[in-house]
Amino acid sequence: MPQLPAALLLHETFPYDDGPLVQLAPDTWSNYSGTSNQLQVLQGRARLSETLTEDVQVFLPGRPHTSGVLYVRFTVNFSRLPSGGGGCFLLLKDAGVNNNRACVYATTMDAPPGQFRLGLRLTGVTSPLYAQYHPQACSTQQEQVVVMRYQLQPPAATLWVNPAGEQDTALEIPTDGTAPLAIHAVALRQSLASSSGMGELWLDGLRVGYSFAEVQPFGAPPTLSAIPDLDLPAGGRTPTLSLTLTDEDTPLPFIYLYGVCEPPELIPPEGFIFGGVAGQRTLVLQASEGLQGTARITITALDDTGLSAQRAFAVRLGVPKCESIPDQIIRVNQTLDLWPIRLEDAEGDPLQISVSASDRVLFPATNLVVSGTEYERRLTARPAADRAGHAIMSMVITDGYHRITNQFHVTVAPHPGRLLTEEFDYADGPLVDVGSAKWQTHSGQAGQAVAERGSLRLSMENSEDVNAPLPISPITSGSGYVLYARMDFRVLSLPTNSVPAYWAHYKDGGNGFRCRLFVTTNQAPPGHFRLGLSSSAALPTSETPHALSTQKLHTVVTRFDINTGRCVLWVNPALESDSGIVSGDTAGSSTVVAWAFRQAANIGGVMVERLWVGTAFEDVVPPPPRLFISRQSGHLVLRWQDADNMGLETSHHLTSEVWQPVIPLPPAVGGWRAWTNEAGGEKRFFRLRR
């Protein structure tokens, strides 16, 4: 990276692989609040979202800082506007958790439609209404350069947006009696509180120093877009890679690009093929023939003042491939059988495979067996007898040059059956009164959740939240339990704005809510809605692809694997293999004690006619009837379960509107009915019908 003044305390360009920031840079960044590993680095920038909770910090050299001034500079690009009153996303802090200064906010208040403003508070991260805001309105999808100056004693602060110099228009926050605070760190914050949050943004170029010129020098270096890691066969050639250049001072055609490989024999200098013009450049890499290994590539952009920027990435040559294995759920005493697992190695190297489980009591090493041919393998994993739980399975493949790991979750789920059956067949009245054997209030004004004509009415004009404890609670992470909930419901009225609130969820003994359901109008036509889902986020992290009609009865089924923190949602499903949506977030360590309904502003109006909670899909969605056919001694035998209460019909044409019942209906024997007919003769079709 470019040479920096010695006094610069921090220059963070997030030059890491994609992934959790605190995992990628553990010597620099640390979590101090919220769910770990949520704040991600993606393509060389830090992504912050109000739907997440992780707050991270980087300690500054020379701490504690108790006098003088600190300057903080960063670039920010908002991809989603702040919600409600807005929120804080960057601050200075002490070595603890709660004390902060110079808190930078984003809000849409007093901004034109589709735009936002940036602001400051001397202290406090939860009340955007008390912040003061820079007059300049900013647009989403555009990069903004922000510089903030903080005077430590007595505390005062200044904020610039896209400044050319320190004399530009700025937001001044004078001394107001706020007590001095020893500053140890700069922090990034993610939060949504009372429907107010900082939106979604991408942050880069974070610098901290003692002067404006240090953090925002005249004649800034160029910037170069991130390049992802690549896999190629030995001697392979990359597709054309796009590189984006920017420079505030040097004309873009005069920026020189060059690349270096370590070790150099894997991709020699002549293997770097640059193209493109001005700010849109291209790169093709040609690897040396027959060589395998990991090439570590550094691309440098050099401007005519001698300032430069670098991007580093890896090219793995000759790496074997293994198809992704989805997470698995099996029952206690059921053996997991995965086949075929397809492997590839373009160079034809022999592959060695080993498998291990994170819980070796649940899956002893002797119970994990890999078989099959070189590039088509089978894995059988037999859990210990009568044990439930959860394990991360790691399949390690090596070809002698590279080692790759394919990981997936395996949940061994107990099945005590259905846990809650609620048809709301009470007399009209408050649910906690007429259904007091199951339901209790845990928040809001009691008596507002009402049983009405065989349904539960939920309204955004009310505040009572109710829950029904589950008989096997508490259910904890690692226990192996997978919970299924089915609701038959109607949406009577839609939310009144674009920020939905959740109306149903699992809960722990306090305020921990999991597998949250939302009614949202996002991209839904008038009179329609979509269902939103999150594992624990306050806003939906995924939504159903198709809009649903109000006033009509729908069935929604959710699956919550308490061990992985992942939720799945189906609408009107028949089978667990039907297409559904998966939450875009994962919950942390969880405990479930009850199913709950919530009433709050912007949930819409919902009538719930049925609620079933179980530990298997078939507990909440009875399997569809099946008709079995077999040949016995020249006869055809059709069999079906009597419990399905179905009759047998026949027709000579599959598309016929005329089907004749088979009379007489054969008697039930051992819970089954069987009808026998001679094989041969004219073609006939059969079906079951109630």
How buried is residue 64: exposed, middle or buried, by Cβ count under 10 Å (0-12/13-18/19+)? Answer: middle
428: helix, strand or coil: coil
- Give the count of beta carbons closer than 10 Å to the beta carbon of residue 251: 11
DSSP bridge partners of 392:
409
Q: Is 238 helix (H, G, I), strand (E, B) or coil?
A: coil
pLDDT for 671: 87
- Reported as type and span, the H/E element at residue 328 is strand 328-331
What are the mean pLDDT values of the chain's consecutive 10-residue runs (690 residues total)? 56 90 94 95 93 96 95 94 94 95 95 93 91 93 92 96 86 93 97 90 94 79 89 95 88 92 95 95 96 94 80 93 94 96 93 96 97 93 97 96 94 97 97 97 96 96 97 94 98 91 95 95 94 93 95 97 96 94 89 97 96 97 88 87 83 86 89 84 84
Buried b (16+ CB within 10 A) or exposed e, 181-215: bebbbbbbbbbbeebbbbbbbbbbbbbbbbbbebb
What are 615-648's pLDDT values in tens digits? 999 999 988 888 999 988 888 899 998 876 788 9
Q: Which residues contact 274 (CB under 8 A, 6 or more apart)?
A: 257, 259, 281, 282, 283
- C-beta separation of 503 from 492 below 8 A: no
Handedness of CA 543, 547, 551, 553 (dihedral sign): negative
Contact 69, 215 (CB under 8 A): no
At residue 5, the pLDDT reads 41
Backbone angles phi, psi at 86, to 5 degrees: 105, -170
The alpha carbon of residue 314 and the mean position of all alpha carbons in its chain are separated, in whole angstroms, by: 26
Continuous segment of H or E residues that includes residue 444: none
Going 247 to 249 to 253 to 254, the CA torsion angle's sign is negative
Taking a C-beta distance cutoff of 8 angstroms, is the pair 231, 316 a contact? Answer: yes
**Residue ranges with strand state E in 247-322:** 256-262, 272-277, 280-285, 293-302, 308-317, 321-322
Residue 680 vs residues 77, 371, 634, 636, 688: alpha-carbon distances, Å: 72, 44, 9, 9, 21
Half-sphere exposure (CA, 13 Å, Cβ side) for 287? Answer: 27
CA-based nearest residue to 308, from 190, 219, 428: 219
CA dist., res. 627 & res. 647, Å (int): 11
In degrees and rounded to multiples of 5, residue 215 shows phi and psi of -90, -25
In degrees, rounded to 5, the angle at the alpha carbon of residue 338 between the alpha carbons of residues 333 and 344 is: 155
Q: Closest Cα to residue 316, out of 238, 241, 242, 229?
A: 229
pLDDT at 4: 39
Nearest Cα to Cα of residue 221 among 164, 162, 303, 146: 303
Domains of the chain listed by start with CATH number = 10-215 (2.60.120.200), 223-317 (2.60.40.10), 327-413 (2.60.40.10), 420-620 (2.60.120.200), 628-689 (no CATH)
| Side-chain-facing half-sphere of 120: CA atoms under 13 Å | 25
Residues forming a β-bridge with 115: 139
Question: Number of helices (H) and strands (E), helices first, in the chain?
Answer: 4, 61
pLDDT of residue 219: 67
What is the bridge-based pairing of β-strands 328-331 and 403-413? parallel
Distances from the Cα of 661 to the Cαs of 515, 637, 656, 682, in angstroms? 45, 16, 14, 17
* Closest C-alpha to 414, from 483, 507, 350: 483
Longest dimension (CA), the chain: 100
Do β-strands 19-20 and 40-42 pair in parallel, antiparallel, or remain unpaired?
antiparallel
The H or E element that residue 355 is part of is strand 352-357
The neighbour count for residue 112, using CB atoms within 10 Å, is: 10
Sorted by sequence, the CB contacts under 8 Å of residue 227 that are 6+ apart come out as: 241, 243, 283, 297, 299, 311, 313
3-state secondary structure of 215: helix
Task: Label residues 324-363 b or e (16+ Cβ within 10 Å = b).
Answer: ebebebbbbeeebebeebebebbbebebebebebebeebb
